[in-house]
Amino acid sequence: MNPIVLKYINEIRIDRDKNGIPHVNADNEADLYFGQGYAQAMDRGMQMLLTRILGQGRASEFLDSSEELLQIDSFFRRMNWYGDAGLELSKINLSTRDIIKAYCEGINAFFQKSLPWEFKLLGYKPAKWRPEDSILLMRMTGYVTLQQSQTEMERLIVEMIQAGVEKDLLEELFPGQLGGLEMDLVKKITLGERIVPADVLWKNSLTRMMASNNWAVAGSKTASGKAILCNDPHLETNRLPNLWQEIVLKIKDRYLAGAGMPGLPGLLIGRNNDLAWGATYTFMDAVDSWVEECREGKFKRGSFLKTEWVRFQERREIIKRKKKPDHIATFYENEHGVLDGSPFTEGFYLATRWASGSHSGARSLENIFKMMNAKDVREGMELMGALEMSMNWVFADAGGNIGYQMSGILPKRRSGVSGLIPLPGWEEKNDWKGFVPFSQLPRVYNPPEGFIVTANNDLNHFGKAAPINLSMGPYRAERIANLLKSKIPLTPDYMPQIQYDVYSLQAERYMKILTPLLPHGDEADILRNWDFKYDLNSKGAWIFENFYRELLRDVVGPVFGHDVMDNLLGKTGIFVDFYSNFDAVLLSKKSGWFNKESRENIFRRALDRSLKMPIRSWGDRQNITMKHLLFGGKFPTFFGFDRGPVAVPGGRATPLQGQIYRSAGRETSFTPSFRMIIDFEKDGLKSNMAGGPSDRRFSQWYVSDLENWKKGKYKDVTP
């Protein structure tokens, strides 16, 4: 295409490379970010506006007035992420404010010229994009559904206790994490409906964020002597457009190349001339619930002779609905967050607070802008470590150095309390005591191994604080580390093999127990000879997964109840996120969960049923349809909004994670939606993406990178 030439302060030029990626060239920062805003609105305007509508809790007003969208609006109004965004902006220094203003004006300049036609059909005329909108999106990025999964598990623990699960069984499932638990008090809690059922919240429009891999290799361990950094964020891939937008930003000889999120200025992952960085989610526990004793609109404080009753703050939200009367949502709040229930009905309820849900965003915006000129790993650790969203950042620099730093706002809790269990809200000792400095979060610089790997695993050993009380299993991180160790000195050409690896250490560990129990027969021989790989043709992966689900049903089902178990397996992310906790039970030689049976008998019974099931290839279970954010499933496939079926290799514990489950008719998948390899022997990076640069269905760039992503081919992104 012909270059786009704009004028803000000075001239701005936007070109597309042969892969459709926009390159913004300017001679100052204000012009640069004006150009980025313009390019984002041009390529991802529909995505940006739709996300803002949802985050503001206005889907019922602008999209449709269904009950499902009303629930989603109520959820976002409850979270109130837009509430103090203006106040947060006042904390930002003047120079940064000028840059953010330029970024927003770039977005508005394009929307003034051209509005996505999808919104014209809906009769939606958007307000101008404001800095507050970017703060809203930053908070959404940190929660949806990264922190949401932690909240779901904490709620499940309450439901387990109320269903009669014994404390010793909970201790096995959550070892060392139940400090402060008062079983009798938890049983008194009145649980309202879920804040919003997961099968409703994620059925419409939002893209779920989940897992990721990243690693950095020091120059001392590479063939070239130059550092290498890799990142593959695992997100919900069956949505179009992709969550990420690739872009190159350049001021004279200084550049940024990588990926950001539409609606947020700067890059979240990528590189400049001297420094590269990548991100995974941490599973930091930054959400707590407290038990509040309520009556007559008030909550109790103190105990015994010093008891007092304090009135909740009441917040009323008017949710407008298309062609229907307005809906009034009332929320009751105190220092512990929003109450799940009405304090006018006497009882015990949960109040829940997310540490980054308010008074956050300013520092993140400032530091993301500074990354363009960051020179080395230590500087990158200081800048990205101060971000309010919780991420595992790995870094590599032109000097061959590497580093790791966790970011996020971690509450300080009293000794012996993990944050996993709701505590009495009326006891002052249970309140947060401020927040942990990021310098005490897990971090490491130039470790002796010469490489760093994070894959949503437990990284507490790198820090003075212990922010993780639940994590994904260690299998992906261990497998990546093993592959790195096996090929030193390392080259960038080896990195795609790791990003596309489908070997499961989880399956290997189960099979050590299972193999001696295998009977004679062709079906058992398939499992006996399985290579533990989740490739699309694997019959072993198919049989093993049937066995694993039957094992969960036999061990966990009798305690949870089989109906609850089927719901958790099929409609929630509990076994997607926190399978490691259940593995600790299932792989034990003895457990209270075994109901006095031997582990071998339980394994044998689950195996017997799984071997009698029809046997197919793993790929038969792993097909997804990539659906348009707004019109997904509403038009026949030949209209081109939706694409597929697309076969997804991998499993829950393989570096190429391929997890699929279905909820309320919606297919949900978690795979590496974007892959990035940065080699400091040269400028730029290599990448592929499940999608393309544009959210415009009729653009040649709508899914232009999908075939590369499927086939393991990488494109060159050069500044």
pLDDT for 364 = 92
**535 within some domain:** yes
Percentage, residues of the chain above pLDDT 90: 81
pLDDT confidence band for 224 (50 / 70 / 90): very high
Taking the C-alpha atoms of residue 634 and residue 602, their distance in angstroms, rounded to an integer, is: 45
Looking at 566, 599, 620, the residue that finishes a domain is 620
CA distances from 219 to 361, 473, 474, 700 (A): 34, 29, 26, 39
**368 within some domain:** no
pLDDT for 145 = 53
**518 within some domain:** yes
Please check whether residue 495 is in contact with residue 484, taking contact to mean a CB–CB distance below 8 angstroms: no
Q: How many Cβ atoms sit within 10 Å of the Cβ of residue 343?
A: 23
Tokens of 462: 């790198």
pLDDT confidence band for 237 (50 / 70 / 90): confident
pLDDT confidence band for 151 (50 / 70 / 90): confident
Q: Mean pLDDT, to the nearest integer, of 338-356?
A: 96
Give the 3-state secondary structure of residue 684: coil
Residues 6 or more apart whose Cβ sits within 8 Å of residue 299 = 292, 293, 309, 310, 312, 334, 339, 343, 351, 425, 426
- Least confidently predicted of 18-22, 117-121, 233-237, 679-683: 233-237
Please tell me what DSSP assigns to residue 372: G
Split into its structural domains, the chain has a count of 2
Looking at 620, 635, 656, the residue that finishes a domain is 620
pLDDT confidence band for 25 (50 / 70 / 90): very high
Taking the C-alpha atoms of residue 435 and residue 94, their distance in angstroms, rounded to an integer, is: 26
Q: What is Dmax (Cα atoms) for the chain? A: 77
In terms of residue numbers, what domain contains 309? 138-203+286-354
**97 within some domain:** no
- What does the chain come to in residues? 719
HSE of 474, CA atoms in CB hemisphere, 13 A:
9
Looking at 620, 637, 663, the residue that finishes a domain is 620
pLDDT confidence band for 666 (50 / 70 / 90): low
Taking the C-alpha atoms of residue 598 and residue 626, their distance in angstroms, rounded to an integer, is: 44
**343 within some domain:** yes
pLDDT for 198 = 44
Taking the C-alpha atoms of residue 336 and residue 350, their distance in angstroms, rounded to an integer, is: 9
Taking the C-alpha atoms of residue 535 and residue 584, their distance in angstroms, rounded to an integer, is: 26
Q: What is the CATH number of the domain that holds 578?
A: 1.10.1400.10
Q: What is the pLDDT of residues 595-637, one digit of tens each?
A: 999 999 999 999 999 999 999 999 999 999 999 999 988 888 8
Tokens of 235: 């997100």
Taking the C-alpha atoms of residue 2 and residue 699, their distance in angstroms, rounded to an integer, is: 15
Res. 415: pLDDT tops 90: yes
Mean pLDDT of the chain, nearest integer:
93
Tokens of 486: 């096996």
Res. 252: pLDDT tops 90: yes
Q: Mean pLDDT, to the nearest integer, of 43-52?
A: 96
**515 within some domain:** yes
Tokens of 699: 């653009």
Res. 200: pLDDT tops 60: no
Q: What is the pLDDT of residues 440-488, one digit of tens each?
A: 999 999 999 999 999 999 999 999 999 999 999 999 999 999 999 999 9
**124 within some domain:** no
Higher per-residue confidence, 648 vs 360: 648
Res. 567: pLDDT tops 80: no
Tokens of 679: 């080699």
Taking the C-alpha atoms of residue 56 and residue 76, their distance in angstroms, rounded to an integer, is: 7
**166 within some domain:** yes
CA distances from 244 to 207, 234, 587, 674, 688 (A): 11, 11, 38, 7, 11
Q: What is the pLDDT of residues 372-400, one digit of tens each?
A: 999 999 999 999 999 999 999 999 999 99
Q: What is the CATH number of the domain that holds 183?
A: 2.30.120.10
Q: What is the pLDDT of residues 51-83, one digit of tens each?
A: 999 999 999 999 999 998 998 899 899 999 888
Please check whether residue 6 is in contact with residue 72, taking contact to mean a CB–CB distance below 8 angstroms: no
Q: Mean pLDDT, to the nearest integer, of 246-253?
A: 97
pLDDT confidence band for 196 (50 / 70 / 90): very low
Please check whether residue 539 is in contact with residue 615, taking contact to mean a CB–CB distance below 8 angstroms: yes
Element (H, E) at 366: helix 362-370
Q: How many Cβ atoms sit within 10 Å of the Cβ of residue 552?
A: 20
Q: Phi/psi at 132 (nearest 5 deg)?
A: -60, -30
Taking the C-alpha atoms of residue 206 and residue 202, their distance in angstroms, rounded to an integer, is: 6
Please tell me what DSSP assigns to residue 208: P
Taking the C-alpha atoms of residue 72 and residue 213, their distance in angstroms, rounded to an integer, is: 30
Residues 6 or more apart whose Cβ sits within 8 Å of residue 334 = 292, 299, 310, 312, 313, 351, 425
